[in-house]
A and B are shown apart, each in its own frame.
Chain A
Amino acid sequence: RKEVEQDPGPFNVPEGATVAFNCTYSNSASQSFFWYRQDCRKEPKLLMSVYSSGNEDGRFTAQLNRASQYISLLIRDSKLSDSATYLCVVNDGVPTFGRGTSLIVHP
């Protein structure tokens, strides 16, 4: 099965910082893309879907670049509560998860 790749991090940033993660995927036929958040020893929870036109939800912005086959997640004004692992998911009929990027926001 095709891969989804993420930088595992950790990204260690101070509160208020802006941080961005990228995720590359190898299957050019992939149709839908998502970012999930997973807290330690918890289940994944949908953060946002990623649309071709890009989408924004509060401090979070997701973008898709089909030509270069990557999606990105931008978090502005980081909060301590944003500390988690962020999973990239690409769905080409069967969901394929990345290993996740760890974010640590410190005071």
Chain B
Amino acid sequence: EAGVTQFPSHSVIEKGQTVTLRCDPISGHDNLYWYRRVMGKEIKFLLHFVKESKQDESGMPNNRFLAERTGGTYSTLKVQPAELEDSGVYFCASSQGVQMYEQYFGPGTRLTVT
């Protein structure tokens, strides 16, 4: 069974540009989560989708970040315009149930904003 996949694996963009990250969850997983780890900090929760609905977006840092999951399958996270402090690793995770231990993490997208 394929795991959680994320695209791209790396992205280098200039401040002010737009970047869209994609996450494909494990097939059949209704729950999809976005996390990020900025340099020197801990991994932080961004938001949680149940199918196409945002269940919890309390961790989204500001309105430059927009997450979507149209159709309840893959999800995108767009950063527009990107700032230097957005650099970090963005992880996606998916699960069938809502328990933390059920989540499978993707390999992450390493974003560098210069």
Contacts and interface: CB of A to CB of B under 8 A. Distances in A.
A91 B99 CA distance: 9
Nearest to A45: B105
Contacts, number: 40
A43 B37 CA distance: 11
Interface residues of A, number: 20
Given A87-B43, A100-B42, A43 B101 contact: no
Interface residues on B, range: 10 to 19
Interface of B: 35, 41-45, 56, 58-59, 91, 99-101, 103, 105-108
Interface of A: 4, 32, 34, 42-46, 49, 87, 89, 91, 93-100
Given A32-B99, A44-B43, A44-B105, 9 more contacts: A32-B101, A34-B100, A43-B91, A43-B105, A46-B103, A95-B35, A96-B45, A97-B43, A99-B42
